[in-house]
Amino acid sequence: MAVRVLRRAQLVPVVLKPRALSEVAGPEAPPFGVVVLLGHDFPIDGMVSLKGDPALARWHISDPKAIAGPIEAQERAFERAFREIEARVKIFASLSLDGVDRYAAERRLAEMEAAAVTA
């Protein structure tokens, strides 16, 4: 379903997968400037330390795979998730985070999320 949504949006799907924090926290991991967490439940305690001390963006996107019911409802959930992510990516791309410390960047990212949720 995700591939169909991407194709309808005239985007070429590539073979990528989300990675667990434990996968990107090892000694060979690259430094990060920003890490985007998707979902509604975010870890607060026990967050692994990532190289680069990245700012965290928390995007509250419902998991479209969690929708049960008819195929039409599932397709609508994938479409909704795509549109929500697309809106946030557009806002994120317009942010200037150069020369901003982590805490100021996280504040801007939280403001961005609040704007995206109310839009």
Tell me the pLDDT tens digit for each residue of 102-117: 777 788 888 877 777 6
Q: How confident is the model at residue 44 (pLDDT cuts 50, 70, 90)?
A: low
Q: Which residues contact 5 (CB under 8 A, 6 or more apart)?
A: 75, 78, 79, 82
Q: Is the pLDDT confidence value at 23 over 70?
A: yes
CA-CA distance, 57 to 74, in Å (whole number)?
Answer: 26
What's the whole-number mean pLDDT along residues 29-49? 73
Kindly state the tokens that stand for 39: 């979902």
Per residue in 68-89, pLDDT (tens digit) is 889 999 999 999 999 999 888 8
pTM: 0.73
